[in-house]
Amino acid sequence: MRWLTSQRMAGACRLLETTDLTVQAVAAKTGLGTPANFRLHFTRELNTTPSSYRRLYQGRNRSAIALRSS
């Protein structure tokens, strides 16, 4: 069961990094059910919320893009 949850979290991270899907949509696509259940598992695995993870990743991604275009 732990392996399956880890795989779902990896998929969720990819979706949060590469799409603008809502947390609810990411939860559904990764098979973690409700947004509340998804947030619970995500926070346990990664010690941050899905929304915070997305902001952190997108902030780093924008910085990298800005550096490349300079």
Query: Considering the chain, what percentage of its residues have pLDDT values greater than 70?
Result: 83
Q: What is the pTM of this model?
A: 0.78
Cβ–Cβ < 8 Å for 29, 22: no
How confident is the model at residue 51, as a pLDDT? 93
Q: Which residue segments constitute the domains of the chain, with CATH numbers given? A: 2-69 (1.10.10.60)
Burial 58-67 (b: 16+ CB within 10 A, else e): eeeeeeeeee
Tell the burial category of 5 from Cβ atoms under 10 Å away from its Cβ (0-12, 13-18, 19+).
middle
The tens digit of pLDDT for each residue in 45-70 reads 899 999 999 999 876 655 444 444 44
